[in-house]
Amino acid sequence: RINRNDFMNALDEVQPAFGVSEEELQQVIQNGIIHFAPHVDELLKTGQLFVEQVRVSTRTPLVSILLHGPPGSGKTALAATIASASGYPFIKLLSPDTMVGYSEPQKVAAINKVFADSYKSPLSVIVVDNLERLLDWTPIGPRFSNSVLQALLVLFGRRPPKGRRLLIIATSSSHSILTDLGFSENFDSELRVPPISNIHSFEHVLTEVELFNSAAGTRNAIAMLQEAGFGRDDGQSPVLNIGVKKLLSLIEMARQEPDAVAERLLSALLGLGM
Ligand code: ATP
Ligand code: MG
């Protein structure tokens, strides 16, 4: 039954027309960041430096960076974390997920609106998530939306009005597609987000999410993976190469079988064809 509380909650959920869209952003960073390898902190640190650059430098009112890396390597979460930590008055996530079913003109309009809104704020950060999906890129043909591409190219190159500053953080799973589309020269900086490829990072994640009740349990599982050849790097054994997103989902799957967690994890990893 709907009661007064529901109405009050509904009121709380109304977002301002422009401004920080916390809800969207919080959703993509709710699982948090695990500091499983040095690159994680380096990427966050580099992002923070760009945030500072845009905040203080009058010479660079527009800075755009690209986070690229294989599927599930953590690009969206990192971009959103950098954006969220900026403390800028305007923070927006532009994601193809919120444009499902949009026609091309609707997409272009939505993208234009986010940028137009950002120009009203002295300091803005826009996360343009999953560029190739935003561009409707498909390998067959290949095809993509030229009108979305042209709109983005213009917006990525346009200086904000006087006194306004904008940081654009784009993400993409395919650097080569962006290069083919003539997009990649547009970034001030390109940062690679690598997958998990070493056993220590892997162990760090297992420990952090407490898949096993004890350190011994975790070590046991790691020993089992090493037994299967992971981390051996001899050109024949299965190679560890997995995005943190995928790993976290395998972990949750393995958790469902409390009696055989390590076995389940191993078979899932082998099943990935690693
Ligand atoms: P896709 O290629 O499908 O767009 P992605 O590279 O954008 O995937 P995310 O959607 O960011 O990946 O998923 C990463 C998930 O892993 C998130 O749930 C995030 O909270 C979690 N995570 C844990 N540690 C990290 C980390 N160090 N870096 C990034 N994400 C992390
Ligand atoms: Mg993503």
What is the pLDDT tens value at each position of the chain, 274 positions in all?
A: 777 777 666 655 544 444 556 678 888 888 899 999 999 999 999 999 999 999 998 889 999 999 999 999 999 999 999 999 999 999 999 999 999 999 999 999 999 999 999 999 999 999 999 999 999 999 888 899 999 999 999 999 999 999 999 999 999 999 999 999 888 888 999 999 999 999 999 999 999 999 999 999 999 999 999 999 887 878 888 888 999 999 999 999 999 988 899 999 999 998 876 5
Any ligand 1 atom below 6 A from CB of 37: no
Report CA(57)–ligand 1 centroid distance (Å): 30
Which pTM does this prediction carry? Answer: 0.91
Task: Give pLDDT, residue 270.
Answer: 87
The Cα–Cα gap between 188 and 171 comes to: 14
Any ligand 1 atom below 6 A from CB of 83: no
CATH 3.40.50.300 placement within the chain: 18-192
Any ligand 1 atom below 6 A from CB of 72: yes
The Cα–Cα gap between 148 and 29 comes to: 26
The Cα–Cα gap between 274 and 271 comes to: 7
Residue 205's alpha-carbon distances to 79, 136, 157, 180, in angstroms, are 20, 33, 39, 35
Is residue 265 within 8 Å of 255, Cβ to Cβ?
A: no
Is residue 169 within 8 Å of 47, Cβ to Cβ?
A: yes
End-to-end CA distance of the chain: 50
Beta bridge partners of 189: 65
Predicted ipTM of the assembly = 0.99
Report CA(97)–ligand 2 centroid distance (Å): 10
Report CA(1)–ligand 1 centroid distance (Å): 37
Is residue 237 within 8 Å of 230, Cβ to Cβ?
A: yes
| CATH class entry, domain 18-192 | alpha beta
In 10 A of CB 64, how many CB atoms? 20
Ligand nearest to the CA of 71: 1
Is residue 167 within 8 Å of 54, Cβ to Cβ?
A: yes
In 10 A of CB 173, how many CB atoms? 18
In 10 A of CB 131, how many CB atoms? 25
Angle between helices 146-157 and 104-118 (to 10 degrees): 10
